[in-house]
Amino acid sequence: MSTSRRKFTDEFKADAVQLVVQGQRPIAQVARELEISESSLGYWVKAYRVQHPDPETAPPPTEAARVARLEAEVRRLAEENAFLKIAAAFFAKEQR
């Protein structure tokens, strides 16, 4: 006996996720009502929350700007470190 997998449209998935997110209902309840597995709906909700973080739990803009500045500085320092390693190897060869 082979069972075919059910395919859901993106619109269906979005509607199901909105029932959980906006309706403040548990995933299990919505999954039972729509006759889908809880794990599938859970994955869809998780993906939605990753793509649309809650503004209340997101870091404030000043913190986000600080993190971005620090990440840029880390990238710059890593590039400088790589350059210095190459230069040190070059001068070490030259002295031999």
Residue 2 placed within a domain: no
Residue 75 belongs to domain spanning = 59-96
- Separation CA 21–CA 16 (nearest Å): 9
Would you say residue 89 lies in a domain? yes
3-class DSSP assignment, residue 66: helix
* Same-domain check for residues 30 and 48: yes
* Structure-block tokens of residue 92: 């070490």
CATH number of the domain at 51, please: 1.10.10
Output the pLDDT for position 38.
Answer: 93
Residue 17 lies in a domain: yes
Both tokens of 8, joined, read 């859901």
Instruction: Give pLDDT, residue 43.
Output: 95
Query: What pLDDT was estimated at residue 2?
Result: 56
Instruction: Say what the pLDDT of residue 75 is.
Output: 97
Shared-domain flag, residues 37 and 74: no
Structural domain total, the chain: 2
10-residue stretch averages of pLDDT, the chain, 96 residues long: 77 90 89 93 90 71 84 97 94 80
pLDDT score at 30? 93
Same domain? For 43 and 68 the reply is no
Q: Which residues contact 37 (CB under 8 A, 6 or more apart)?
A: 31
